[in-house]
Amino acid sequence: MMAPKIINMMNKIILVLLIMASQMAMAQKYKSEKGSIKFYSEEILEDITAINNKARSVFDAETGNIVFSVTMRDFNFEKSLMKEHFNEKYIESEKYPKATFKGKLSGYETGKKNASVQAEGELTIHGISQPIKVTGSLEFKGNNIKLHSVFFVKLVDYHIKVPELMFQKIAEEIEVFVDFEYLPYE
């Protein structure tokens, strides 16, 4: 008579352990649906700044795998003419609607609160993928993670052509700021 009760209790314990293990596994994956990507170009005649607060990202803290995607038309500029030129003449947003990064973060431990990290992977802009290696920081706050990075992108590497007259206004290298706040993936 005791055997069925023990088996039933063992089954309940196994079920509880499986549920706990699956929750721990899910807690290793994070998503960000309103990340911020900003770029800046300092020039003699006019600085150019654009920001996109609709970038999306997924980060797996266990493996270090990270991916982000940003819709090019969602960049906001100080002047509407800048946005029009960006989308139509340089980025060709109709043809290349998104920029993406797929890679891996390293240099962190999930138990530490702050960490300097390296991201290595492929950045795709204007239909061109290039290997990239950048540094950044991770900050663990409770169940959330904040990621910040600043790096430079050369327009020529992504076949982004700027008319000769515009070279006085647009730098050949653009400074990029990436900020994501991740929540546990549910």
For residues 119-151, b (16+ Cβ closer than 10 Å) or e, as one string?
bebebbbbeeeeebebebebebeeeebebebeb
Mean pLDDT of 63-88: 93
Q: 127: alpha, beta or left, given left = phi > 0 and alpha = psi -120 to 50?
A: left
Enumerate the domain spans of the chain: 29-184
CATH class of segment(s) 29-184: mainly beta
Tens of pLDDT, residue by residue over 135-186, are 999 998 888 999 999 999 999 999 988 766 554 556 788 999 999 999 998 7
pLDDT of residue 25: 40
Q: Is the pLDDT of residue 15 over 60?
A: no
Gap between the Cα atoms of 76 and 52, Å rounded: 6
What is the reported pTM? 0.80
pLDDT digits (tens, 9 = 90+) for 47-73: 889 999 999 999 999 899 999 999 999
